[in-house]
Structure 1
């Protein structure tokens, strides 16, 4: 509805812009066919009116235009056609009582044309001119009054439609926020009832077996389990990962790679390029989680000896590339859950990136390693209130 009103207004403004030149041309043509006595003056005034129309404005523009129109009508009555533009021009460029003053001026000038120009009035038609002027002013003023009411009603309608659109947008935002909160609460309950309790049980069992198994591996297992439990609890409370709580994304990725390298005894190198700067928490969490899942896949399936992680900051994008020299695989082959790229971790990575309008690409072939690239928009952090 708003679009239709805007389209109608644009057409109306275009018509009012073209109309003065069309009426001026028609009036001049009819005048030339009638061979007026003051042709040079008529041509000069018509040219002046055409040039003046090129610089639309407010009160001064309208006053000068009406003066030129009055002079043309006085010399050549056919320019009464051109005088009609005084009405739409008053509506476009004047406001309040000024519009009705413009209506009165236009009606008075048009009345001169009805009586055959200034020569007809000089011949004694003053009363006729005055009567026609008064009638024209009354009728035109009444028309303007109703047109103005219609215009005001359209403005109020547009404002109401805009308010309705704003309210609709706010309702969508609230509904989306409510949906996110509901999903977060559901996931928090599942994590609390499954993952967190399971990890707590792992810690208890490993501590009981610590005295009978290799202490180094047992200590590493306990540390990893405790870290996983802490991350699960942070997720329940919707808090950012502990690595991001302690450092920015480049530092968090470096610490993640360092811990992973020590645990799995695989060399891991982290490189950061571009202007490293804080990003929206969702962007940093998505990239950090992607790095975690990628390194987990390398440790489980790749049999690699070296991994490189490259974090690249560009003007509009941030990318994370993870490359390994492992066994590789065929990305086009059918994969089932439990294989390197068939489990739920990859699906979770894709969904997390897609929520930020990002994407995940994987390049690999058997015996040639794997390259994973995650790209997300460089969304800056929200300003604090």
Structure 2
């Protein structure tokens, strides 16, 4: 799970020009239908295929990397018009494995939706029914579906796993781990954020609880379920859920670092490639660009879910967004942008893409695709701090991959998601 600072700081994302002015002025957006496709997906712009792949433009997006705050970059774009893979940094293999952070949530949601299709998990059933005693008695009923689309109202993480939120704290505690029950118990000492189903607030505690539900109804570990249901059938050889105390990053990979203050006030670089995967079902998985592309392709083609559950991937609840700057862009600003598993974003050229971002200290990743799979992109950067300074570069790569003539003015903000 991400620390409170890590979640709060993600990115303020706004489209340049008139849209930026409208959002900044608080101009209301049109009312949207319940369970709407986010980002105006019914429009011609949203449904059209991505523009031809511009390999030269993509190469330019990483030409200045590594920079002072990014030691490496890996980009893979694929779809109609061919494939392009580029790296920056002397130690970045094209087939690198990396920690995918909150992209793990997509795997968790997929397993949960499969269990719903098998009638082993009821999306309208409550956490209190499946895991009695996990949530305080004063909490209202929270459904499984509300966990998956972040409308549960559960509080965010506490101080147990984040300390003071600094790079120094993480470097010192990078091998430490906690059980999912400890993480949830620490979080629910706080009151509910809002009535379940009334708003959307991206929150890693939702996915911790979802992972616990998966283990409860299957009698198997989350790692076993991902392996047998997703990784093995799709041939994802680089994709693993590490054991809680396994700090290694096996196979080819780029080193990851964070910069911490030294005794003399200078910045000292600490290698954090080896770190605890304690975020587990919420953010602890390891994968590669090729595996994430294959997973996203299979998921959007309907290979992993029956039609009823597949529809949940593209159904975004029509509720307000709470403290999540990812949802403050485009024609749906102020509204939810997460479905039961994916995030939707409307790019400056009107194209709607679906996917997820994720991060761990030393890693900042994204996987996005058009719904028709005419373009897919996977990005993995190696930032040296946890402030989100890499996000302008991240979104410049993403928008370029989808042929947008504009990019987002992405800046670290006081609220958001990873």
TM interval, short-chain normalised: under 0.3
Higher relative contact order (CA 8 A, sep 6+): 2
TM-score, normalised to structure 1, is 0.23
Q: Which has the higher helix share?
A: 1
| TM-score between the two structures when normalised by the length of structure 2 | 0.22
More strand per residue: 2
